[in-house]
Amino acid sequence: MSFVPPPYPYERLDGLKKLAERHEGGPIDCSIGTPVDAPPAIALEELARAVGARGYPPSIGSVDFRSAAASWIERRFGVNLALDQVAACVGTKEFVASLAQYLHLRLPDRDTVLYPAVSYPTYAMGATLAGLRAVPVSIVNGQLDLASINPADIERALVLWSNSPSNPTGALDDLQEAALWGRTHGVLVASDECYAEFTWAGRPRSILEHGLDGVIAVHSISKRSNLAGVRAGFYAGDAEIVAFLRLVRQHAGLMVPGPVQAAVALAYGDDEHVERQRAIYQARLQLLSDALTPLGINAPMPDGSFYLWCSKDGLDGWELAGLLAQASALIVSPGELYGDDGTNFARIAVVQPDDRLELAASRLRESR
């Protein structure tokens, strides 16, 4: 074969899990950002009704689905969208992984995906799966260093990815600067904003606040409403780009199931459950940050997201992950999984129930 898929990143953690098994109750897995808390009841009740299960759902998303997404964008960010500027996707990971392939059909003379040097692995993998170049952009003080991009790569760029709040670092990017850079250079900027509801440093932000031309924002119900299993999200922004992607994706048969669209529309209409979830994540982040700091582990509260981006002098990310597995049964992700620049870090996702995280914190306190 000319292409051999690399191991899936999180499958490399089996050794850490063996270290944690010596603890009663086994591993406390904080390696993947999988929500564990309850979704909003109204969404589950709507799913159970299974309205629309018999027929093919609209690929672009039902009017109710897109209206709910657009209304949420207006409430959260003060941006007004026409319905033809919003479209559904089958979970945003699918969208991230396929975007480069579809954009290349539109601009075949461009073959490069620009993405944050420390980031969610699927930005780079999307380029690889499309047979294109993946070029990392340096991060300075948590933000894209746009001035560092090689002019030759700009000429070949299909898209620049931004992720704010960042997975894994929790940093907030300068979305206004990214939008301006994209328009200046004629490069689409795709802003992955799936953690926007969990912004701690000020209010949630969207690239759409800085104009719709040449940008798209990508949002997911997975984190916002603890509905990762239903696989639904949406993208919105530049009308020409949305129209092109909608048509290509329709030909590919990409459709969010009808009952899911109905349930997600209700979830986007409710903000109270999100406020409750925000308080839960803030408390969990503080709990583990406080327990780690006395051990000489730098685990500052993030500006956004539900991750702690940790480091300890003298240890790389795998060694730090091993220390945490042995001391507390916590399974965390070594920073190398998010790019070479993350080698000396580890990421902790606070997505275990409170009692499990309290148990981990108590073990960390005892290990001082």
Residue 295 domain-assigned (yes or no)? yes
CA distance 150 to 234: 31
Nearest CA-CA partner of 195 in 225, 164, 173, 226: 164
Beta bridge partners of 219: 234
pLDDT at 310: 98
pLDDT in tens, 127-173: 999 999 999 999 999 999 999 999 999 999 999 999 999 999 999 99
Are 141 and 182 contained in the same domain?
A: yes
Please give the average per-residue pLDDT across 298-313, as a whole number: 98
Beta bridge partners of 189: 160, 215
Residue 3 domain-assigned (yes or no)? no
Is the pLDDT score of 1 beyond 80? no
pLDDT at 129: 96
Nearest CA-CA partner of 245 in 15, 60, 30, 50: 60
Q: Torsion-angle region of residue 237: left (phi > 0), alpha (psi -120 to 50) or beta?
A: left
Locus of tokens 């993405």: 115
Are 318 and 351 contained in the same domain?
A: yes
Are 322 and 263 contained in the same domain?
A: no
What values do phi and psi take at 298, rounded to 5? -80, 110
Taking a C-beta distance cutoff of 8 angstroms, is the pair 161, 123 a contact? yes
Domain count, the chain: 2
pLDDT at 6: 85
Would you give the end-to-end CA distance of the chain in angstroms? Answer: 50
Are 287 and 352 contained in the same domain?
A: yes
Listed residues 268, 287, 321: the one ending a domain: 268
Listed residues 221, 248, 268: the one ending a domain: 268
Residue 2 domain-assigned (yes or no)? no
How high does pLDDT run on average in the chain?
97
What values do phi and psi take at 349, rounded to 5? -100, 120
Locus of tokens 């420390």: 118
Are 179 and 256 contained in the same domain?
A: yes
What values do phi and psi take at 230, rounded to 5? -85, -15
Q: Which two tokens stand for residue 357?
A: 């995280």
Residue 341 domain-assigned (yes or no)? yes
Write out the residue range of the structural domain in which residue 147 sits. 41-268
Listed residues 208, 236, 268: the one ending a domain: 268
Residue type, 117: A
**C-alpha dihedral (171, 174, 179, 182), degrees to nearest 10:** -80
Confidence of residue 367 (pLDDT cuts 50, 70, 90): confident
Helix 92-106 and helix 122-129, axial crossing angle in degrees, nearest 10: 40
Residue 117 domain-assigned (yes or no)? yes
CA distance 236 to 246: 11
Locus of tokens 């048509």: 247
Query: The domain spanning residue 301 has which CATH number?
Result: 3.90.1150.10
Query: The domain spanning residue 48 has which CATH number?
Result: 3.40.640.10
Are 132 and 224 contained in the same domain?
A: yes
Are 276 and 336 contained in the same domain?
A: yes
Taking a C-beta distance cutoff of 8 angstroms, is the pair 233, 102 a contact? no
Is the pLDDT score of 368 beyond 80? no
pLDDT in tens, 306-338: 999 999 999 999 999 999 999 999 999 999 999
Confidence of residue 11 (pLDDT cuts 50, 70, 90): confident
CA distance 320 to 308: 13
Is the pLDDT score of 73 beyond 90? yes
pLDDT in tens, 262-293: 999 999 999 999 999 999 999 999 999 999 99
Are 160 and 284 contained in the same domain?
A: no
Confidence of residue 2 (pLDDT cuts 50, 70, 90): confident
Are 107 and 142 contained in the same domain?
A: yes
Are 256 and 298 contained in the same domain?
A: no
Residue 286 domain-assigned (yes or no)? yes
Are 316 and 240 contained in the same domain?
A: no
CA distance 298 to 154: 36
Are 49 and 123 contained in the same domain?
A: yes
